[in-house]
Amino acid sequence: GAGVSQSPSNKVTEKGKDVELRCDPISGHTALYWYRQSLGQGLEFLIYFQGNSAPDKSGLPNDRFSAERPEGSFSTLEIQRTEQGDSAMYLCASSKRQDRANSPLHFGNGTRLTVT
Amino acid sequence: GDSVTQMEGPVTLSEEAFLTINCTYTATGYPSLFWYVQYPGEGLQLLLKATKADDKGSNKGFEATYRKETTSFHLEKGSVQVSDSAVYFCALGGATNKLIFGTGTLLAVQP
């Protein structure tokens, strides 16, 4: 069966450009999470979706970052006016439901974003 | 706020050596605790978990015991193999709906 799919796997962009990253969760998984992993850092939570709503956006660093999950299936993470500090691995995860203790997160392979 | 601290790597061991990767946490309430592993070129995957104090999670020869008195969840394996080479992440799931991860520990096992 298919796992969590993220595209593109690598993205190089110039400072100031906008980028959009996509995540396709495992079919039937209602919960979807975005994380960011910078060199030497742990995984930093960005945003969580339950269906098509986002109950927790507390990890988005600033208003240049936004995410959508319009139909409750795939999700997109958009970064506007990218900066070099945005360079990182962006990871998406999904789970069957919100209860992490009984429904582990399944991660994609990530999108490596490099801002030059 | 909630946080996880794990030992910095890299940890380099010979095959069949004993492994310990330390993890301590700070949390309000009673979190669930997890170890995730990331093999080269692959996504993170759950290795083991424990949902309450004194629980022991185990999988693939790895074990970790949820110690509330020392706020720890150290990962251990009695005899590592080359195939265990990976990055290991300790994480906690607290009152909110997100996992909080440590910075990861790179394990390199040499034949």
Residue from A100, A105, A107 to probe the interface with B (highest B Cβ count within 10 Å) = A100
Output b/e per residue, B93-104; b: 16+ Cβ within 10 A. Answer: bbeebbbbbbbb
pLDDT band of residue A1 (cuts 50, 70, 90) is: low
> Which residues does B8 contact at the CB level (< 8 Å), separation at least 6?
B103, B105
CA distance A100 to B1: 19
Which residues of chain B are at the A interface, by a Cβ-Cβ cutoff of 8 Å?
Answer: 4, 32, 34, 36, 41-46, 49, 51, 89, 91, 93, 96-104
Amino acid residing at B4? V
| A3 close to B (CB below 8 A) | yes
Q: Which residue of B has its CA nearest to A89?
A: B43
H/E stretch holding A111: strand A111-115
Residue from A7, A105, A106, A109 to probe the interface with B (highest B Cβ count within 10 Å) = A105
Mean pLDDT of B23-44: 91
Q: Could you tell me what percent of chain B has a pLDDT over 70?
A: 96
Least confident of A3-7, A74-78, A101-105, B38-42: A101-105
